[in-house]
């Protein structure tokens, strides 16, 4: 009998040790969580996780990088969730920026490469058409000797494609002004005017090139004041500007 009592007492000691061990483990887990939370709070309050942005651009845009950086600050309020597409849309809304290529190098390191518009044509008094056929209107106009474009804003894309096509046809002559209202008109560098109309424009322009090459040799007036109306089926009408 005495031996049974001793055995029962020893069996009762095991649950106490087991519960104590569980309590210690829980305290350690709690301490670990509190420590992690503290570290996260300290890090969040510092600039360790703040996004770092590096910029790359050509000379035209380099002076405005500070302005672009300020414009995207409202989009970076949540430093743990930055939408690159929103940054791209915001930066490309600036007049001289043609394209912004944005890459996430690391989760808080972002690289932004900027490409500027190259002026292909002047549009109105305050706008330009880029080499990609995009109309842009900077806050301050710049000097440019590119051809003048007279065309409604909603037709710029198609207009620019036609301009490139017409320029390839008249090359090595240069178009200095292209006007699209109810009919298409073109002016060359030497002030020669070509009335193309709206139909068979490529054919009419090619016919002008052949005729002009012959007439400019015989008449200086043709080279400086000639107005060629090419809207006739197989011919043209020649008049002169004052």
Q: Which of 13-17, 23-27, 117-121 has the lowest mean pLDDT?
A: 13-17
By CB neighbour count within 10 A (0-12 exposed, 13-18 middle, 19+ buried), where does 171 fall? exposed
Which CATH number does the domain 119-240 belong to among 3.40.50.720, 3.90.226.10, 3.40.50.11690, 1.20.900.10?
3.40.50.11690
By CB neighbour count within 10 A (0-12 exposed, 13-18 middle, 19+ buried), where does 126 fall? exposed
pLDDT recorded at residue 17: 62
Question: Which of 19-28, 59-68, 72-81, 152-161 has the highest average model confidence (pLDDT)?
Answer: 152-161
Quote the CA–CA distance of 162 and 178 in Å, as a whole number: 10
Sequence-ordered list of residues with C-beta below 8 angstroms from that of 31, at least 6 positions apart, any chain: none
pLDDT recorded at residue 16: 62
Ramachandran category for residue 134: left, alpha or beta (phi over 0 → left; psi -120 to 50 → alpha): beta
Instruction: Render pLDDT for 194-234 as a digit per residue (tens, 0 to 9).
Output: 999 999 999 999 999 999 998 988 888 888 889 999 999 88
pLDDT recorded at residue 1: 47
Render the burial of 136-157: b for 16+ CB within 10 Å, e for the rest: beeeeeeeeeebebebeeeebe
Mean pLDDT value of segment 125-142: 90
Which CATH number does the domain 52-116 belong to among 3.40.50, 3.90.660, 3.30.300, 3.10.20?
3.10.20
pLDDT score of 158 more than 70: yes
Model confidence pTM above 0.85: no
Instruction: Render pLDDT for 42-60 as a digit per residue (tens, 0 to 9).
Output: 444 545 667 788 888 888 8
Sequence-ordered list of residues with C-beta below 8 angstroms from that of 211, at least 6 positions apart, any chain: 228, 236
Q: Which of 5-9, 119-123, 217-221 has the lowest mean pLDDT?
A: 5-9
pLDDT recorded at residue 31: 66
Query: Apex CA 71: angle with CA 109 and CA 118, to 5°?
Result: 90
Quote the CA–CA distance of 129 and 103 in Å, as a whole number: 28
pLDDT recorded at residue 49: 62
The residue among 49 and 191 whose pLDDT is bigger is 191
Q: Going by DSSP bridges, is the β-strand pair 184-188/175-180 parallel, antiparallel, or unpaired? A: antiparallel
Mean pLDDT value of segment 113-142: 91
Neighbours of 188 (CB within 10 A): 19
Average pLDDT, the chain: 83
The residue among 157 and 17 whose pLDDT is bigger is 157
Describe the crossing of helices 156-170 and 201-218 by its angle, rounded to 10 degrees.
40
């Amino acid at each position: 009998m005495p031996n049974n009592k001793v055995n029962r007492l020893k069996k009762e000691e095991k649950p106490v040790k087991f519960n104590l061990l569980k309590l210690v483990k829980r305290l350690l887990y709690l301490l670990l969580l509190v420590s992690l939370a503290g570290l996260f709070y300290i890090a969040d309050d510092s600039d360790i996780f703040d996004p770092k942005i590096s910029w790359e651009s050509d000379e035209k845009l380099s002076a405005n990088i500070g302005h672009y950086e300020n414009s995207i600050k409202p989009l970076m309020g949540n430093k743990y969730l930055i939408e690159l597409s929103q940054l791209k849309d915001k930066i490309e809304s600036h007049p001289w920026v043609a394209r912004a290529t944005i890459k996430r190098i690391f989760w808080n390191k972002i690289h932004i490469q900027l490409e500027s518009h190259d002026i292909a044509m002047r549009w109105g008094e305050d706008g330009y058409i880029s080499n990609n056929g995009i109309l842009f209107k900077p806050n301050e106009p710049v000097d440019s000797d590119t051809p003048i474009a007279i065309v409604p804003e909603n037709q710029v894309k198609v207009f620019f494609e036609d301009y490139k096509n017409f320029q390839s046809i008249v090359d090595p002559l240069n178009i200095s002004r292209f006007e699209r209202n109810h009919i298409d008109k073109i002016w060359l560098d030497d002030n020669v005017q070509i009335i193309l109309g709206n139909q068979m424009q490529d054919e009419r322009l090619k016919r002008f090139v052949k005729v002009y090459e012959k007439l400019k040799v015989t008449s200086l007036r043709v080279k400086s004041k000639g107005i060629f109306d090419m809207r006739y089926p197989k011919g043209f009408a020649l008049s002169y500007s004052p």
